[in-house]
Amino acid sequence: MGSLLILLSPFTSSAFFVLFIAGVVLLYLGLSDMSSRSGRREILSDGLRWLVFGVVSVLVLAFTIALFALSLLTGFRSPMFGLGIYSNLMGHPFSLLSDPFRLLGLIGGLALFYVLLVISSYYLKRSYDALGAVTGINTFSTAGLLFLLGGVLTVIGVGILLILVGWLISVVAWASVK
């Protein structure tokens, strides 16, 4: 059920966060249950690492976007250039290149988000591989591989589609568990 809620959450506007958080909690509970049933702690521990790295990556992305938007709206520039927060009164406040630190901050934040997303995807793959080995359902391993490939290929945009397909396959895998 958790995978289904995570899969559906991007397609709902008002209930996105509620569905997504409920889906993550249900998925974590499912991983916990399968870990305790099988006695394989790596299912849960890798699932917890996925959750922690995933939450941190989303927070880094939100913080990066918020700071970048704030810097564009206020025209804030580095004090190194001597104009301070009121630089939007002069020059081009919406120019990305008016302050190289603005662009470097955006690139750095997005790079950190990307690295954390790939690490998160790696741990979800490990958890799903262990889950597939315990249940004998190879669809878990396929979903895990799609999560990892999606995380790596997010940088070119294709990864988001692969992650969505991974969640769809994850729904099928969880439905096959008896």
Q: What is the pTM of this model?
A: 0.81
For residues 100 and 147, the model is more confident at: 147
- Confidence band for 84, pLDDT divided at 50, 70 and 90: very low
Residue 81 confidence (pLDDT) = 39
Burial 41-79 (b: 16+ CB within 10 A, else e): ebbbbbbbbbbebbebbeebbeebeeebeebbeebbbbe
- Confidence band for 83, pLDDT divided at 50, 70 and 90: very low
What are the sequence ranges of the domains in the chain? Answer: 2-176
Rounded Cα distance between 123 and 48, Å, is 8
Residue 11 confidence (pLDDT) = 59
Q: What is the chain's mean pLDDT, rounded?
A: 82
Burial 107-118 (b: 16+ CB within 10 A, else e): eebbebbbebbb
For residues 140 and 19, the model is more confident at: 140
Which residue, 160, 114, 152, is CA-closest to 11? 160
